Structure 1
Amino acid sequence: MSTLKFVEKLNADFSVNILHLMCPVHLLKLEEAMKKAGIGQIIEIITDYDGALEDIPQWCEKRGQEFIGLKEDGEYFRFYIRRVR
């Protein structure tokens, strides 16, 4: 299981706002964003769904993508993921 890594806000190549969306939509939106990203690009996922704290790092691990970390930003979270392959 992945360990949560907290980071400062990063400069992402693009951002996906999925506030107020829950399982499984948050993972479907992440999958769509990953298909659009180029290798090495960083995606920022903005969500208020606390289930994402487990789901997104696990998704990255299973798919071979790099979970850089997350930033808690008030009432929501910013997840940073680098496309590796």
Structure 2
Amino acid sequence: MSQPVGGWVFSSAQARILEGVAAGFSSGRLSRELYLSSKTIDYHVRVMSDKLQAPNRVALVSRAFVLQILRTDSWPPRIACETVD
């Protein structure tokens, strides 16, 4: 497996959640679409925010773009494949 960009690795669930957050989806909508509880969504957002030292969702998405975790060439946002475990 190649080294992920910046050394960041996310689970497939975290990748889908990050894509949804970047698209502007609420925890409620993500929970319905991903069949996870909203508490689980919020937990993963907190874990990713801590990992990227982001104080809120906007900062999480911004950091993910700057660190090339999220691709800049697609909408809705997609995570770079090499950052998924």
Structure of larger gyration radius: 2
- Specify which structure has the higher proportion of helix: 2
TM-score range, shorter chain: 0.3 to 0.5
- Relative to the length of structure 2, the TM-score reads 0.32
- Relative to the length of structure 1, the TM-score reads 0.32
Q: Which protein has greater RCO, CA pairs closer than 8 Å, 6+ apart?
A: 2
